A = this chain, B = another copy of it.
């Protein structure tokens, strides 16, 4: 999957609307919630288009896809909070060795949430993926 930087990028009505609608809300919608939002403006848009554009936009860093690449969930045998490193390309997750000060939250800042723990994840491109891109 090489980088093709000489491709013309087109801001289609669909792509523009998806981005605008996503920026309008303060929630963090799933793909099909975005689909519903956009469909009120462009009733003929397809779900595939929404997925493709969310992909496109997040790969450019214009929007954020929470939870990183890959559709599978990952599990950690150590339940104590500790920082992770996640590759945005291949989805791999490993423990971060550097000592990091975990932020904490006072009860009155928690907006009503209970049993809070803090997950810190550094998201980037792992050495293997960085190599295979050249």
| Chain B residue at minimum C-beta to C-beta distance from A109 | B98
A73 touches B67 (CB 8 A): yes
Contacts of A105 in B (CB 8 A): 96, 98, 100, 122
**What 0/1 pattern do residues 98 to 134 of A give for CB contact below 8 A with B?**
1011110110011111111111111111110010000
Report Cα–Cα, A81/B110, bound state, in Å: 18
Q: Tell which of B62, B97, B109 touches A111, judged by Cβ atoms closer than 8 Å.
A: B97
Determine how close the nearest CB of chain B comes to the CB of A132; give it in whole angstroms: 13
| Chain B residue at minimum C-beta to C-beta distance from A108 | B98
B117 touches A77 (CB 8 A): no
Q: Tell which of B24, B27, B121, B125 touches A114, judged by Cβ atoms closer than 8 Å.
A: B125
Q: Which 10 A-B pairs have the closest CB atoms?
A: A98-B109, A112-B127, A116-B124, A23-B77, A113-B124, A30-B72, A22-B77, A64-B76, A28-B93, A67-B67
